[in-house]
Structure 1
């Protein structure tokens, strides 16, 4: 006398799978109607989205219909269906999380690139304004400013190079900064900071 395995698929499930393998549409439709609502509710509990839950359940039934010959359902059909829905729902949530992380990473990168581009544009505008303001200074004063800010020379070195007194150098620098502030208006403070950065 042969003993049935304790966890063998019930006879009705075996008959069901045979009918589906033989492409019996009526049997499949009855099978679909019997389990659809239960499986949808289960999927929805996991994913929390109607469309996603419907898609998960539909995909499972389509897979069973298309690949019935390859499926090896060893236990009860209901257990197979519920386990498949849980796995598919967890995979969906994993993909959603990965996609969300990718989108966030992309948005952060885009924001960073936009911010960098804005910063470069602002610097270009500031430098242009600075050049225009420097161009309005008297020649000697402008030369002193250039040697100090861009040439990075000390005041005594400027005096020696231009053959003028240290006091004259200081006067030119004081006058130059005052005129730049007047010319640059509200952006003057930012440009003064820029000049100090250039000096370093």
Structure 2
């Protein structure tokens, strides 16, 4: 009996659910397939997992197998697809890992820099506010630090709401111009210096 005939009979026995036929196929071809996969992947544990997946799939699909060639080319083709799939997924994992590592490194560096910038920014803002006219300073501090509304500031300062708006607009414009000359590029500026 030739090997092809033997494999054809094994395949027929496998289709009928013969566990002994499955075991014989595994014993005949498992080592060759493992050697083939390992030679491409260079990782014994992963190679063994791939071989297990191939044979589990073979057994699970035994009743519906449509193998037009011999069993050996079919199994090696399955191994090739598994290898390519593994390589693709490894590349994706590696790429994401690299991107994540870069993101963490940049985020950590930016966070440290931003903490320093915040302290510097607060000092610069306070210094600039101190150069504004007294009533303009007062209206701005009440708006941005005490979080009071235009109406509340107008009432407390005994001035019109329009005047309060003018004071705050003047202060914001002055601070924007003063800070635009520095390196203040993070979001805090946009929030702090937004309009009413």
Structure-2-length-normalised TM-score:
0.60
Q: Secondary structure at the match of 2:92?
A: helix
Aligned to 2:77: 83
Alignment-derived partner of residue 104 in structure 2: 110
Question: What SS is found at the alignment partner of 2:69?
Answer: coil
1:58 Cα deviation after fit: 0.7
Is 1:48 aligned to 2:42, yes or no? Answer: yes
1:10-49 matched pairs, under 5 angstroms: 10-49=4-43
Q: Does the CA-based 8 Å contact 2:67-2:74 persist in structure 1?
A: yes
Tell me how far 1:101 sits from its aligned partner. Answer: 0.7
Q: Aligned-pair RMSD on alpha carbons? A: 2.7
Is the partner of 2:63 in helix, strand or coil? Answer: coil
Cα distance in 2 for partners of 1:10, 1:72 equals 16
What 5-or-longer segments of structure 2 have no aligned partner? 134-178, 184-196
Note closer, same or farther for the CA distance 1:128–1:77 as it changes in structure 2 (3 Å cut): same
Which residue number corresponds to residue 66 of structure 1? Answer: 60
| Counterpart secondary structure, 2:64 | coil
TM-score by length of 1: 0.59
Among 172, 182, 187, which residue is 1:197 paired with? 182
Change (3 A) 1:12 1:125: same
Contact 1:10 1:75 in 2 (8 A): no
Q: Contact conserved, 2:38 with 2:44, CA < 8 A, in 1?
A: yes
Structure 1 residue 39: Cα displacement:
0.6
The answer as to 2:117 corresponding to 1:98 is no
Number of residue equivalences: 135
- Structure 1: tracts of 5 or more residues without a match: 1-8, 135-141, 148-193
